[in-house]
Amino acid sequence: MRIGLAAVALASIAAGCAQGQGGGSGAPAEPAAGPPLKAPAARALDGYATRLRAAHTARVAAAKRWGLKRVPLTAPPPPAKKPEITTREGFEVDGHLRLGLPPVFTTVPTEDKILFLTIDDGDEKDPAFLRMMSELRIPYSAFLSDYLVKEDYGYFKEMRERGVSLHNHTLHHPYLPALSPARQQREICGMQEIIEKRYGERPVLFRPPYGNYDKDTLRAAKSCGITHVPLWNEEVFVDHWEYREWDRSLHPGDIVLSHFRGRDTWKGTMPDMIRRFLDKATAEGYAVARLEDYL
Domain residue ranges in the chain? 1-19+40-65, 77-294
288 pLDDT higher than 90? yes
Put residue 26 in one of left, alpha, beta given phi > 0 → left and psi -120 to 50 → alpha: left
What number is the average pLDDT over the span 17-36? Answer: 43
* Cβ contact 262:270 at 8 Å: yes
Render pLDDT for 27-72 as a digit per residue (tens, 0 to 9).
Answer: 444 445 555 556 777 777 777 778 778 888 888 999 999 999 999 9
What number is the average pLDDT over the span 131-153? Answer: 98
Among residues 216, 252, 212, 219, the alpha carbon closest in space to that of 234 is found at 252
What is the average pLDDT score of the chain?
89
Residue 114 phi/psi, 5-degree rounding, is -130, 155
211 pLDDT higher than 80? yes
pLDDT at site 50: 80
Residue 215 phi/psi, 5-degree rounding, is -60, -40
Q: Which fold has domain 77-294?
A: TIM Barrel (3.20.20)
Alpha-carbon span 267 to 237, nearest angstrom = 9
What number is the average pLDDT over the span 134-162? Answer: 98
Indicate the pTM of the whole model: 0.84
AA letter at 45: L
* Cβ contact 158:130 at 8 Å: yes
Render pLDDT for 224-255 as a digit per residue (tens, 0 to 9).
Answer: 999 999 999 999 999 999 999 999 999 999 99
pLDDT at site 1: 43
Angle at 213 between CA 96 and CA 264, to 5 degrees: 150
Structure confidence at residue 142 as a pLDDT band (50, 70, 90): very high
pLDDT at site 48: 75
Among residues 163, 117, 172, the alpha carbon closest in space to that of 144 is found at 172
